[in-house]
Amino acid sequence: MRAVVQVAGAGRSDVGRRRPNNEDSLFVSDELGLYVVADGVGGRSRGEIASAEAVEQVELWIRRHAGELDRLLRLGDAGTPQLHRILESGIQSACYMVYGLAAQDPEKQGMSTTISMLLVRAGVALFAQVGDSRIYRLRAGQVLQLTEDHTLVNHKLKQGLITAEEARTAKGKNVITRAVGNKDYVQVDTGVIPALPGDRYLVCSDGLHGYLGADEEIADLMATEPLTQATDRAITLANERGGKDNVTAVFVSVED
């Protein structure tokens, strides 16, 4: 039997100091236990439309399948494979919609978006990932990055073509290898893990995590109370360190 937990979240997005407009989108719903960050790609190709559309489609998908999700969660491990499929299908739905919008309008051609989705229900954290936004978990003072960056630099690092030190200073760090909407299909990473009382999560765009330092700094930021103050600290930190990109942060707390 899955544990029953309470979940609360707070989020904020900021244009930063260098960009003329904000192409990030976010969604925060304690009712659904759903927290989403999307970072639009495309600039003049309307990345802000791609991110907003993707977030809206994911919200609608989770609302539509909430009953099925809860049924599968009650099954315990037996329901896990189907949970992965529902998460993946939700992102694929968003991908198809963004791709279709771009195909209909020349001004939107090339638009796409990253997406990081966290869903906390019935003592379980479910997540889905495309691109280089991130989800972190803080548990007992230890920070864990739950998602993998789909970037050219990270691909080279995994293949042993560059070292971790070289990756930190490599050019093209923002070149992503997967995005929602640039094709009608995208490979989606999904995860289903226990959510325990006391856990904290951070869902954020690269406009924030690109400025974060050691795990100790991330842990301190994630532990900030109240959650709204954590969002303010995150935006301030990114802007003080350059604010070269849009900045979006969603903090989530799991309680008994």
- For residue 209, the model assigns a pLDDT of 96
Reported confidence tier of residue 166, pLDDT bands at 50, 70, 90? low
Give the pLDDT score at 110: 86
The Cα–Cα gap between 189 and 219 comes to: 24
pLDDT score for 45: 65
φ and ψ at residue 109, rounded to 5 degrees = -60, 135
pLDDT per residue as tens digits for the range 182-223: 999 999 999 999 999 999 999 999 999 999 999 999 999 999
Please give the backbone phi and psi of residue 35, each rounded to the nearest 5 degrees, phi first.
-140, 120
Sorted by where each begins, the domain ranges of the chain are 6-145+179-255
**Model confidence at 57: pLDDT above 60:** yes
Find the length of the chain.
256
Reference 256, options 203, 195, 165; nearest CA is 195
What's the average model confidence in pLDDT over 58-70? Answer: 98
Distances (CA, A) of 79 to 25, 60, 62, 71, 121: 30, 22, 16, 8, 14
Locate the DSSP E strands across the chain: 6-14, 24-29, 34-41, 112-113, 115-121, 124-130, 134-139, 142-145, 189-194, 200-204, 247-255
Note the pLDDT of residue 161: 73
What's the mean pLDDT when you consider all of the chain? 93
DSSP type of residue 253: E
Q: Using 50, 70 and 90 to split pLDDT, how confident is the model at 59?
A: very high
pLDDT above 90 for 156: no
Stated pTM of the model: 0.94
pLDDT reported for residue 37: 98
- 225 pLDDT band (50/70/90 cuts)? very high
The pLDDT assigned to 4 comes to 66
pLDDT at 1 over 60: no
Position 144 scores a pLDDT of 98
> What pLDDT, in 10s, does the model give residues 93-122?
999 999 999 999 888 888 999 999 999 999
Please give the pLDDT value at position 226.
97
Whether the predicted pLDDT of 256 surpasses 90: no
Task: Decide if domain 6-145+179-255 falls under CATH 3.60.40.10.
Answer: yes
User: Taking residues 7-15, what's their average pLDDT?
Assistant: 98
For residue 187, give the nearest of 108, 95, 80, 110 by alpha carbon: 95
Q: What is the pLDDT of residue 246?
A: 97
